[in-house]
Structure 1
Amino acid sequence: MAVLDRPAAGARGAARGGLANMAGSALAGGTGVVVTWVVARSLGAEQAGAFFAATAAFVLAGGLAKLGTPTGLVYWPARLRATGRAHLLGACLRTGLTPVMVLSVALAVALWLTAPAIARMTAGEAGHVVAAHTAGLRVLAVFLPLQAMTDALLTATRGYRAMRPTVMLDRVVRSGLQLVLVGIAGVTSLWTAASLPAFALAWAAPYLPVTILSAYALRRLYRKTEPTGVPARRAERRALRREFWRFTGPRAIASVAQLALQRIDVLLVAVLGGLVPAAVYAVAGRFVVLIQFANQGISQSVQPRLAEALAVDDRRTANDLYRTATGWLVLVTWPVNLLVIFFAPVWLRLFGDRYAAEGVPVVAVLAAAMLVATGCGMVDMVLAMAGRTSWNLVNVLVALAVTVALDVLLIPRFGALGAAIGLACAMVVNNLLPLIQVGRSAGLHPFGRGTRAAALLSVVCFGALPWALVAVTGRALAMVIAVPAFLAGTWLLRVPLALDAFRPNRSNS
């Protein structure tokens, strides 16, 4: 890719939104790690495993309720603006949001009613935690509609290129409130017996204020940009609904399969291996969520611009955005992955000796897979924005089949490590398949100068250098050399990395 000295306007806009979103994502990821630590230390391994299984079921149900709208509510508003049909934006929002509200309430009722069966299935031999597990699931069921609507509403704001509501409300307010409330529950457990339902309530309660604020943010954006003139005709609205769900329908199934790919392994470990291995697996794999937050931080900013470029068949702009964003993603996530491996024996010990003893190989396997996944960039989103949602569905279903098959085969024998191998193989499949498809169908790929520079710099500074120095200097002192070397290399490679996009645009000042 030819990298220009002066980044394109699309890259500048993506950089501004992406930087804010990554900062918010780092905060959300960090608070998530602390919340996991508080839960693990306060509840003990068995109840912590039940808590993680309950939240996995909650997220899976919420993903089903969203019906693929996290893609459709960005793709269609961006496409309608780019093609001169902005008068259909109101109809588009109603088309996407109303079914989410209805289905989320139905699934909340279903989760409430099936909570005892889910608790018995996942508790296994730890029958004494079934009652608390059931109560925790029912607490989460009450907040399920709020979780689904929060994500759908904030997705719609990103369709307007507005990243601030997502950063402030989801990354800062929700995660901050979760940290505070779960922290209070943890402190309370020092004097009273720790209660799984209380932790579930503390974790889910922030969705109430955030849903209200998200609805207000979307209303303001819609009112601010509401087009004047001839209203949409009934035939146009009907045609839009058909087009919206023709695009979003496959993505609805794919999004559920994607969430299952991310969460079902915790449930399978609980069922096939027990609650204690489930807790070890959830703790050891927590960093994956941090990497996914970074991926979302960049991809959510790029997504509407990429959709607009592909809507008018501007492949050059789309390719530049994809390659530039992948370079940024590798620059941010590869050092984290490599450091997670390097310091695994240290940070896992903070959760308890058993987590350190059994979690190190889990971390190594998952981190290696994340290097491959982030090296492909936000390829899943690129395929969807190119209109290939049916291909996306097939890819995710293949990956889900891989992880379930390997989990069933490996978890009974290897426990948490077996689940890690299954998820790692699925992640590789779920990134390499769309990478091939995007290249052949749209002529797009992520391997520009920035991606290669970021990968080489990360591997040298946080892969080779620390392991070469650790025997002499120790882990902490190795970072004294690695971090300055990485920062210096980033500065020297700022042109191929397109870091000038993060500088203020002086021509507009």
Structure 2
Amino acid sequence: MGAYTLVVCVTVAVEGEGPGLRRVLRGGVVNMAGAVVGAGLNLALVVAITRAFSQETAGLLFSATSVFLIAAAVANLGVSDGLVYFVARMRVFGRPGGVPRLLRLATGPAVTVACALAVLLLVFADPLAEALGDGEVLDGGEADVYLRLLAVFLPFAVLTETALAATRAHHDMAGTVLVDKVGRPLAQLALVGAIAVTGSAGLLALAWAGPYLPAAVLAWFWLGGILRRAASGEDGREAAGGAAPEPVGASGKAAEGAARSAGAGTDGTGEAGGTGGAGGTPSATGSEERVDRWTFWSFALPRAVAGAAQLGVQRGGVVIVALLGGLTGAAVFTAATRIMVVGQFGTQAVLYAAQPRFAEQLATDDHAGVRGLYQAGAAWLVCLTWPLYLSALVFAPEVMLLFGPDYAAGAAALAVVCAGQLLAAALGMSDLILSMTGRTGLNLLNNVLSLAANVLVCVLLVPAAGATGAAVALVAAMLVRKLLPLWQLRTRVVLHPFSRPVAVAAANALVWFGALPLSAEAVLGGGPTTLAVAVAAGSAGHLAAVWSLRGPLGLSLRR
């Protein structure tokens, strides 16, 4: 190391009890506040569409927007995960000055690809529309018009996610909440409501995609403020709460990991052994210039394919059902999976807050901290999402009637999806940790296998079972994506979801949203009234129990 001083930004965290965990929890609280509002807005958006328009029109819109979201995931090129990964490592080693250069390196190619895909979507709108909607006119709106309107806003979706990922890397969660979780869906709901009044279904796609433009402007404005504060030395006061790590003389396990990396010899990218982010620890003396194009894109591009595959699992089922079972089946399947999407808002609240912290812990070989945060995070996910999924599982017929009487056939699909999501929450964030180790190749393989499982099961079951078959395929794909990382990480960070916090959280949820609703249904019978009473009583009991158990659940901000 010569005359250079080893300086590392260290946030102390012992088994998930230190200020690092508190920062993640505060960020999760900020995200959760937005997630609750955002989930309600997105559910209201789907209900408004299914209630105001025919099943064919709703199925067409859901299929077209699924194509849009998959294209946006492809065009993103893995930039979101790449920015969180490298910006977090720059900050943990006291080298945040390279963030603007990294943004320029990442954003240009992503926007270029988004524009290219938008052009392709414009050119091939007619054959794709024929496949989705058989070229028919639905309530005054043709399928090709939907696709062309969506194509115009594809670059803005990519710009929005790129900017918000950079803000999350700085532990600022408020931008994502206000712009993406609340502002955009609120604008979508208002525009769809206005169109429902006029009855002009041809403008539905514009109402859904139009808010991406102002969202992109606001997201970059927000990021600009964060970068200006970072340049003036005020980067430590993140909106998510908690003090930022200050550069201190390296000591303990974190310093040893950084020193090993500094002395191991690098290939000019800041990654040991020339892996380009494949799991090495960055040099503590490395400058921001060491994150060159090869280093960044060797990490990001596998994540791009993996992210597209993951979204293909979530949204591809809608398209497959439309192709194999018609637009009516696609509308039913979309409605049946809306509860899953609502739950994912809560999941993302934890994931977005934990992602930069995992990157920091893995950069300094803090494996005990990773295990503690993984198990605490799984408990948080169970506390947040199991009440929703258990309630929807018990009262599946009543929930599906929310979308209209024509959607009652989706109750079985809803039950299958909810059962799968209960297991997914308990398995925790293993796939995220695998990505933050830099092993994006394995993450890519897992997501491709997950997508393959989804497509195979869909092809086998959708023609006979419709939306229920697609729901089984969704659960099968989820199991592949969640279980493989636990096995693949066994030589780096031994992880398992079986812990006291997870057991306490699961038992609490089962009492208040499993046993109590089933008892209420047995006594009062089914129906919306029973659902409302059971959810109200269960929510009160669950919140009181979580508060009293906040210590074992790792939910205390003061510890």
Normalised by the length of structure 1, the TM-score is 0.92
Q: 2:460 is aligned with what amino acid?
A: L
Q: Deviation per CA, 1:139-160: give whole Å up to 9, x if none.
A: 1111111011101110011111
Match of 1:251 in 2: 303
Deviates more, 1:158-167 or 1:318-327: 318-327
Distance 2:162 2:141 in 1: 32
Work out whether 1:84 is the aligned partner of 2:136: no
**Is the counterpart of residue 293 in structure 1 residue 345 in structure 2?**
yes
* Residues 65, 104 of structure 1: 8 Å contact kept: yes
How big is each residue's C-alpha offset from its partner over 1:182-202, in whole Å with a ceiling of 9 and x where there is no partner? Answer: 11112222xxxx41x311111
Spell out, residue by residue over 1:77-102, the C-alpha distance to the aligned partner (whole angstroms, 9 max, x if none). 00112123323222221122111111
The answer to whether 1:429 aligns with 2:480 is yes
User: Unaligned regions of 5+ residues in structure 2, if any?
Assistant: 1-12, 234-268, 270-286
Q: Structure 2 vs 1, CA of residues 459 and 4 (structure 1 numbering), >3 Å: closer, same or farther?
A: farther
Measured in 1, the distance between the counterparts of 2:144 and 2:360 equals 46
| Structure 1 equivalent of residue 193 of structure 2 | 183
SS at match of 2:124: helix
Of 484, 491, 511 in structure 2, the residue corresponding to residue 460 of structure 1 is 511
The match for 2:545 among 489, 493, 505 is: 489
Q: How far does the alpha carbon of each residue in 1:330-372 deviate from its partner, in whole angstroms, 9 at most, with x for none?
A: 101011100111222223113222201x110000000011011
Contact (CA 8 Å) 2:505, 2:553: kept in 1 or not?
yes
Q: Does the alignment pair 1:354 with 2:354?
A: no
Deviations 1:227-262 (A, max 9, x none): 89xxx9xx9637522111111121111111111111
Question: What is the rounded CA distance, in whole Å, between the counterparts of 1:174 and 1:47 in structure 2?
Answer: 22
Matching of residue 366 in structure 1 with residue 417 in structure 2:
yes
Q: Secondary structure of 2:35's match?
A: helix
Matches within 5 A, 1:387-466: 387-466=438-517
Distance 1:238 1:286, change over 3 A: same
Q: CA deviation at 1:6?
A: 9.7
Residue correspondences, number: 490
Note the 1:312-351 alignment, pairs <5 A. 312-351=364-403
Q: Does the aligned pair in 2 maintain the 1:438–1:445 contact within 8 Å?
A: no
Counterpart residue number, 1:218: 223
Quick one: distance in 2 between partners of 1:4 and 1:466? 39
Amino acid at match of 2:405: D
Q: Secondary structure at the match of 1:442?
A: coil
The CA deviation at 1:49 is: 0.5
Structure 1's 150 and 5: CA in aligned 2 closer, same or farther, altered over 3 A? closer
Specify the SS of the correspondent of 1:445: coil
| Unmatched segments (≥5 aa) in structure 1 | none
1:131 deviates by 6.2
Distance 1:383 1:447 in 2: 18
Provide closer, same or farther for how the CA distance between residues 448 and 265 of structure 1 changes in structure 2, counting only shifts above 3 A. Answer: same
Aligned residue for 1:200? 205
Measured in 2, the distance between the counterparts of 1:99 and 1:4 equals: 40
Match for 2:320 among 256, 268, 275?
268
What is the CA distance between 1:4 and its match in structure 2? 8.6
Q: Give the root-mean-square deviation of aligned CA atoms.
A: 2.2
Deviation of 1:324 after TM superposition, in Å, equals 1.2
Contact 1:439 / 1:445 at 8 angstroms: preserved in 2?
Answer: no
How far, CA to CA, are the matches of 2:16 and 2:310 in structure 1? Answer: 37
Could you tell which deviates more after superposition, 305-314 or 447-456? 447-456
Once the two structures are superposed, residues 393-438 of structure 1 have per-residue CA deviations (whole angstroms, 9 ceiling, x without a partner) of 1111111001101111111111111111111111111111112223
Q: 2:131 aligns with which of 121, 137, 141?
A: 121
Q: Is the 8 A contact 1:62 1:144 kept in 2?
A: yes
Residue range with higher mean Cα deviation, 247-256 or 488-497 = 488-497
Match in the other structure for 1:376: 427
Q: Tell me how far 1:480 sits from its aligned partner.
A: 5.4
- Given the alignment of the two structures, is residue 20 of structure 1 paired with residue 30 of structure 2, yes or no? yes
**Does residue 119 of structure 2 align to residue 63 of structure 1?**
no
More helix by share: 1
Task: Look up the match of 1:174.
Answer: 184
Verify: 1:145 aligned to 2:155, yes or no.
yes
User: Aligned with 1:258: secondary structure?
Assistant: helix
Q: How many Å apart are 1:458 and its aligned residue?
A: 0.8
Query: Which secondary structure state, in structure 1, belongs to the residue aligned with residue 489 of structure 2?
Result: helix
Give the residue type in structure 2 aligned to 1:447: F
Q: In percent, how many aligned pairs have the same letter?
A: 41
Q: What's the CA shift for 1:481?
A: 4.5
